[in-house]
């Protein structure tokens, strides 16, 4: 499992768009609802964070992730969608 730096994604987003990436970092903010949630993840390599979207019907540990506190360390893997 090769982790990418958030800095690399912001430097060349077209190289990562639509591909599966693994990121590691700390939760800066976390919001959730019944069906999906959002995590602002930062690894310290860039001043901006990456928004991670997670869905209840896609992951088995939704409630565990939704209960994380600011500052929790996470490793996430998913498809990067450019917006």
pLDDT tens across 14-65, in order?
999 999 999 999 999 999 999 999 999 999 999 999 999 999 999 999 999 9
Query: What are the backbone angles phi and psi of residue 72, rounded to the nearest 5°?
Result: -65, 140
pTM: 0.91
What confidence category does residue 68 fall into, taking pLDDT thresholds of 50, 70 and 90?
very high
In order of 4, 21, 27, 31, 67, the CA distances from 37 in angstroms are 22, 19, 13, 6, 11
Distance CA 25, CA 11 (A): 18
């Amino acid at each position: 499992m090769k982790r990418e730096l958030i800095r690399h994604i912001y430097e060349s987003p077209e190289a990562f768009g639509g591909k599966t990436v693994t990121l590691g970092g700390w939760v800066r903010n976390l919001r959730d609802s019944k069906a999906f949630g959002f995590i602002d993840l930062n690894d310290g390599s860039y001043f901006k964070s990456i928004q991670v979207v997670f869905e209840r019907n896609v992951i088995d540990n939704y409630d565990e992730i939704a209960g994380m506190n600011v500052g929790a360390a996470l490793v996430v893997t998913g498809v990067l969608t450019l917006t």
